Amino acid sequence: MWGYGTTADVVVAPPFVYIDQVKNSLTERIEVSAQNVWIGKGGAYTGEISAEQLVDIGCQWVILGHSERRHIIGENDEFIGKKAAYALSKNVKVIACIGELLEEREAGKTFDVCFEQMKAFADNITNWADVVIAYEPVWAIGTGKVATPEQAQEVHAAVRDWLKTNVSPDVASSVRIIYGGSVNAGNCAELAKKEDIDGFLVGGASLKAPDFTTIINSVTSKKVAA
């Protein structure tokens, strides 16, 4: 979820087979995202789901570039960027994920990696109004480790500055950059206080209703106080 005005936008991303069930169980205030989508128009691509199919079932968002798609499935930057362009062309909004491996952070390559991933999105996206960027340090996803608020803010600020230089100042100021990586009820408030952290991409903690509510409220509180 991420802040918008004085409220928080909440989007949930169930597995494909449950999207319709989840969508029909939720209030319209909560939107639904797919976890992946095919790169182009539907056809003989067994096992893939097209953007057109997502539109058919009323799915408004898709997560693209998640670290598991990059590092386990083997999707590269260019492929992910093209996926984003096609999804947006079909009015499916995109949560665009970026983030470095532990060895890349230790080698001092965090910005290089994130900027290269950003470039692949920027090369393919013309309308950023329907894009949310999610910074996910891979070493913090599902590991219990979490970037410190200062580490996360440093990358978020650098990404916003990259957008200012390479896309436009307007996009840099308006795009929402959210943090993902072992976010929970205990650390969300401190992370949310940082200027360039606009919300969160939440994993396991989203399955615990009280914790998820706390995380949502941390984003809402930040925006009300701003």
Per residue in 29-86, pLDDT tens? 999 999 999 999 988 999 999 999 999 999 999 999 999 999 999 999 999 999 999 9
Q: Has 52 been annotated as catalytic?
A: no
Q: Which amino acid is at 74?
A: G
Domains of the chain (ranges; CATH) run: 60-225 (3.20.20.70)
Residues 166-204: pLDDT tens digits?
999 999 999 999 999 889 999 999 999 999 999 999 999
Which of 75, 100, 104, 136 is flagged as catalytic? Answer: 136
pTM of the model: 0.93
Average pLDDT, the chain: 92
* pLDDT (tens digit per residue) in 91-106: 999 999 999 999 999 9
Name the catalytic one among 66, 100, 104, 156: 66
Residue 66 known to be catalytic? yes
